[in-house]
């Protein structure tokens, strides 16, 4: 189970495991975490450290709600998107120099707005064979 993003061709995959998918373009990096069940404290999913900006409530192109948070950490900035997919949460972190993130804001918003859940995974019950 994971979050799917529509990335432009300039973004190249760096690593993909069951735990994370990492892509980069220039000095920017996108890290996509697997979907998790909503914890009691969803803020535990947000990376620690740095100065946090305000939380922006947004929605993807297909209507999934997400919260966007900017975290400034010395010379780098992180944009953290936490998606709510009917009780499963997806976290996407974009890291890079603040100037480059600002210059590429329309592209990055389009990427974040393209997110959708992929609930496919191993079959754990016979009922799933007929779903």
Q: Per DSSP, what are the bridge partners of residue 55? A: 69
Radius of gyration of the chain (CA): 15
| pLDDT reported for residue 131 | 55
| pLDDT reported for residue 32 | 92
| pLDDT reported for residue 127 | 60
Query: 96, 51, 95, 105: which is closest to 73 by C-alpha?
Result: 51
> What is the CATH number for 101?
3.40.1000.10
| pLDDT reported for residue 34 | 87
Low-confidence ranges of the chain (pLDDT < 50): none
Asked if residue 70 lies in contact with residue 53, where contact means CB atoms within 8 angstroms, the answer is yes
CB atoms within 10 A of CB 5: 21
| pLDDT reported for residue 60 | 95
Residue 72 domain boundaries? 2-130
| pLDDT reported for residue 30 | 95
| pLDDT reported for residue 87 | 82
| pLDDT reported for residue 120 | 75
Domain count, the chain: 1
| pLDDT reported for residue 124 | 57
């Amino acid at each position: 189970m994971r979050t799917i993003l529509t990335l432009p061709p300039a973004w190249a995959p760096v690593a993909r495991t069951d735990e994370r998918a990492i892509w980069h373009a220039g000095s920017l990096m996108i890290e996509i975490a697997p979907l998790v069940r909503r914890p009691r404290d969803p803020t535990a999913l947000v990376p620690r450290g740095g100065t946090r900006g305000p939380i922006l409530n947004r929605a993807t192109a297909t209507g999934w709600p997400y919260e966007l948070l900017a975290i400034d950490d010395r010379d780098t900035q992180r944009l953290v998107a936490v998606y709510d997919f009917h009780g499963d949460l997806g976290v996407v972190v974009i890291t890079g120099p603040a100037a480059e993130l600002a210059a590429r804001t329309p592209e990055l918003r389009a990427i974040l707005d393209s997110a959708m859940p992929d609930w496919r995974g191993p079959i754990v019950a016979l009922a799933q064979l007929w779903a």
